[in-house]
């Protein structure tokens, strides 16, 4: 699915990015456009089909990784239910999508980082963040997630070193990309906040649909949530606040990276409450 606006402007926007003439932030996210260019070559010049395949491929890849992530905490049945939940609300993230092919890829990198952290493999966070910066700069938050998740569980010096190295590697890639393409005007955060406050109706419904039920279930079963789930929700809240300041909050695709965290907490909260009722 490529929305109407993207279909009308896809060729122009795509070529601008590849030629280094696009505006910020599109110009600084070349990875997704290069992948689409590869698909266009495979499909003999059909760019819309290339973007369609790219979005579908990484949407399914993200779902598979999310399943593996859920399996670290849930049985197969519950994990499949969680992935089904993710796909059921995925179409609602196409609101305000425009031509943003990086979002499913970005969600995949976040899911891989969650899986690495839950699997006790925090060393993978740094390469995931560094490579992910080719597609979207917000992966710089992945070392922050690992810091929150690992704090107190491992020696503090190791946690801090991994955090600093992860941030440093990601910043290096971001600066390198900006150096290659040169300076571009960035949206003013104050203007973004003002626009988000004025257009609150655009994102309130998105929050209600996408994270409303999962948040309610997580709060309902809060006592049954482990430390990882509670810290994950803390990170998710921070993630949303940052995007409210720097992004168009009505573009619900921005919530994709943290949806698995809300869903996982909701399922664990629900399991806890069902278990309590069974005991009674």
pLDDT in tens, 76-110: 999 999 999 999 999 888 765 555 778 999 999 99
- Cα–Cα separations (whole angstroms), residue 176 to 15, 106, 143: 21, 19, 19
Burial 91-101 (b: 16+ CB within 10 A, else e): eebbbbbbbbb
Please give the structure tokens belonging to residue 143.
Answer: 């070392």
The one-digit pLDDT tens for each residue of the chain (280 residues) are: 445 555 557 888 889 999 999 988 889 999 999 999 999 988 777 888 888 889 899 999 999 999 999 999 999 999 999 999 999 999 888 765 555 778 999 999 999 999 999 999 999 999 999 999 999 999 999 999 999 999 988 889 999 999 999 999 999 999 999 999 998 877 677 678 888 888 787 788 888 889 999 999 999 999 999 999 999 999 999 999 998 888 888 788 889 999 999 999 999 999 999 887 665 5
DSSP 41-102: HHTTT-HHHHHHHHHHHHHHHHHHHHHHHHHTTS-HHHHHHHHHHHHHHGGGGGTT-SS-TH
88 contact partners, CB below 8 Å, separation of at least 6? none
Please give the structure tokens belonging to residue 42.
Answer: 């495979």
Domain residues for the domain of 130 are: 4-279
- Domain count for the chain, please give it: 1
Element (H, E) at 267: helix 259-279
């Amino acid at each position: 699915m490529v929305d109407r606006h993207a279909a009308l402007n896809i060729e122009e926007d795509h070529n601008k990015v590849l030629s280094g003439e696009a505006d910020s932030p599109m110009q600084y996210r070349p990875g997704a456009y290069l992948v689409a260019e590869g698909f266009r070559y495979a499909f003999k010049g059909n760019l819309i089909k290339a973007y369609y395949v790219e979005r579908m491929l990484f949407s399914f890849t993200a779902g598979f990784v999310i399943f593996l992530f859920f399996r670290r905490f849930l049985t197969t049945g519950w994990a499949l239910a969680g992935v089904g939940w993710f796909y059921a609300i995925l179409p609602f993230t196409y609101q305000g999508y425009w031509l943003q092919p990086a979002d499913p890829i970005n969600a995949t990198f976040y899911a891989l980082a969650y899986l690495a952290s839950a699997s006790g493999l925090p060393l993978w966070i740094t390469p995931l963040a560094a490579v992910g910066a080719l597609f979207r700069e917000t992966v710089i938050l992945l070392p922050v997630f690992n810091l929150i998740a690992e704090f107190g569980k491992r020696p503090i010096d190791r946690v801090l070193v991994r955090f600093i190295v992860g941030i440093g590697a990601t910043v290096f890639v971001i600066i390198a990309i900006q150096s290659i393409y040169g300076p571009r005007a960035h949206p003013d955060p104050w203007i973004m906040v003002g626009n988000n406050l004025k257009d609150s109706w655009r994102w309130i419904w998105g929050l209600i649909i996408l994270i409303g039920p999962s948040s309610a279930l997580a709060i309902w079963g809060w006592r049954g949530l482990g430390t990882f789930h509670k810290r994950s929700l803390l990170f998710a809240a921070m993630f949303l606040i940052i995007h409210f300041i720097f992004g168009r909050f009505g573009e619900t695709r921005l919530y994709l990276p943290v949806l698995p965290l809300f869903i996982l907490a909701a399922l664990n909260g629900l399991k806890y409450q069902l278990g309590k009722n069974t005991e009674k």
